[in-house]
Structure 1
């Protein structure tokens, strides 16, 4: 099957008049476009200029509340999937061949979870805002900004136009990873007494890389088996995740492998 013949939408769902077409954030592209525009303007220009001659803000309390919120919110999204055993059975049974739109008993749950996931990606943009206010400019890399911007815009497009059921699996995995990440950030904010026990910091990047590989493998199998799902979704996210994976691998190599090698060389010189 060539890319030019890929179906844009499973079961022509865009033609259906669903509530998603009337919900805030998904009714039109204007709200999300404004949010992303303001985000990029602030983190790339206005924010750094505003903080140029100011001391970093102490956001410890706000950051702890934010990290705890992320743990709880993403945890709820994961739990919603885990406790809905009927939805799990449906996805397993119809992974490669979804039932017609009018016969799907989980449409409402699917749309609600999709919208809630989009909201979580928008809230994630605050990560960069906090970095600007704390003057952690070295953390505001191309990887960081691209990742957050791409996740919001790509998620919106998929929810609005593609609405692929197979997206439930990657989104649930992503939310589970976010629970681990923000739990670490929350614990790290408690101070040195707790930080010394957080030996698993390095493995956060490993977990993120693992999720990208799992998602690519899952969507790749759906594509290679020519499943009756939105192949545009599969190709779209395989490409997007591959770009993010390459950026993460580059970050991992520079941060951990090269730095470890430099430290070993310095130690050897002092011997």
Structure 2
């Protein structure tokens, strides 16, 4: 025990020395310089498009999103839930269509450019397909803005259990992160990440559409747990791909700073999703165990027959799906 305490003290001391050794004033000056000049470096193909002249608008939208989420989370407790079933259905169908457009457009563009390798051919020196890919990536960035509405639908319908740190962190940060990606790196390498993510969201919104038809359709969405697993797999693949870009020396890929941003961002998501998945898994196991005990109690005390499937379906509804 003393050895563990001693190791923890050494670790804390090392971290303290590291923090003290950082020149925070220098980092502040670099950040201010980067912010003041960030609009000058924006890709000319996208600079005049909506929301792309500066990151300020996107950052403000994300900040307003956080304020509204906190406000609605408090005030909706005093009001009745809003009936939005048809609106949410239309929203999910719309998001399916928009993500399908992005997914198919990337595949078509890559096919025309014969861009099948890990070192993408679609970059600034390939004007024929680079501008086309810029438009597709911009639309993918726009989908991240539309995804903010999902949280408000949950709150207005008083589905507070579906709002957790993972959900809020993902939606509030993904929008500005993809602004950076769209503004500076709308190339074929970035399209590989958008390809995986758009496919995932097609499947997710299809799940939401099917589940909106009620409990009788629960048997058709037995595969929902694999969506969460695919989320983790997606970020793992993204880390591997970024690691390849760092070592490969591909012509004109993402910058080294952007690559490391994606790696760290993906690691945070993997940790949060894994925590969510394991907690949900054990919750289901405990719910099914409780259901089995209740079945035995009903059989002994009331001589009633209760279906195990009834308890399993009820338990499965207790685990919300997030993206």
Instruction: Provide TM-score, normalisation by structure 2.
Output: 0.72
1:80 to 105, 124, 140: 105
1:32/1:97 Cα in 2 relative to 1: closer, same or farther (>3 Å)?
A: closer
Distance in 1 (alpha carbons) for counterparts of 2:291 and 2:191: 48
1:85/1:142 Cα in 2 relative to 1: closer, same or farther (>3 Å)?
A: closer
Preserved contact between residue 20 and residue 26 of structure 1 (Cα < 8 Å): yes
- Structure 1 stretch 159-168 or stretch 171-180: which is displaced more? 159-168
1:15/1:263 Cα in 2 relative to 1: closer, same or farther (>3 Å)?
A: closer
Distance in 2 (alpha carbons) for counterparts of 1:184 and 1:118: 22
- Structure 1 stretch 98-107 or stretch 231-240: which is displaced more? 98-107
Asked which structure has the greater RCO (Cα within 8 Å, sep 6+), the reply is 1
- Structure 1 stretch 180-189 or stretch 233-242: which is displaced more? 233-242
Q: CA deviation at 1:263?
A: 4.0
Distance in 2 (alpha carbons) for counterparts of 1:140 and 1:111: 33
1:106-125 aligned at under 5 Å gives the runs 106-125=129-148
Preserved contact between residue 43 and residue 129 of structure 1 (Cα < 8 Å): yes
Q: CA deviation at 1:155?
A: 0.7
Are 1:193 and 2:194 counterparts? no
Q: CA deviation at 1:150?
A: 1.4
1:100/1:168 Cα in 2 relative to 1: closer, same or farther (>3 Å)?
A: closer
Q: Which residue of 2 aligns with 1:27?
A: 53
Structure 1 residues without counterparts, runs of 5 or longer: 1-7, 9-13
Q: CA deviation at 1:17?
A: 6.2
Distance in 2 (alpha carbons) for counterparts of 1:173 and 1:97: 15
Distance in 1 (alpha carbons) for counterparts of 2:125 and 2:291: 67
Q: Which residue of 2 aligns with 1:252?
A: 277
2:96 to 62, 71, 86: 71
Larger-Rg structure: 2
Q: Which residue of 2 aligns with 1:11?
A: none
Q: CA deviation at 1:268?
A: 7.8
Q: Which residue of 2 aligns with 1:225?
A: 248
Aligned residues: 255
Deviation string for 1:132-183 (max 9, x for gaps)?
1011122211110001111111111122234453110011110000000000
Q: Which residue of 2 aligns with 1:138?
A: 161
2:68 to 20, 42, 45: 42
Structure 2 residues without counterparts, runs of 5 or longer: 1-33, 35-39, 297-323
1:182/1:88 Cα in 2 relative to 1: closer, same or farther (>3 Å)?
A: farther
Task: Specify the SS of the correspondent of 1:167.
Answer: helix
Deviation string for 1:5-43 (max 9, x for gaps)?
xxx9xxxxx758613111111112232122112211110
Are 1:153 and 2:176 counterparts? yes
Distance in 2 (alpha carbons) for counterparts of 1:55 and 1:182: 26
Distance in 1 (alpha carbons) for counterparts of 2:229 and 2:120: 33
Supply the RMSD in Å over aligned alpha carbons.
Answer: 2.4
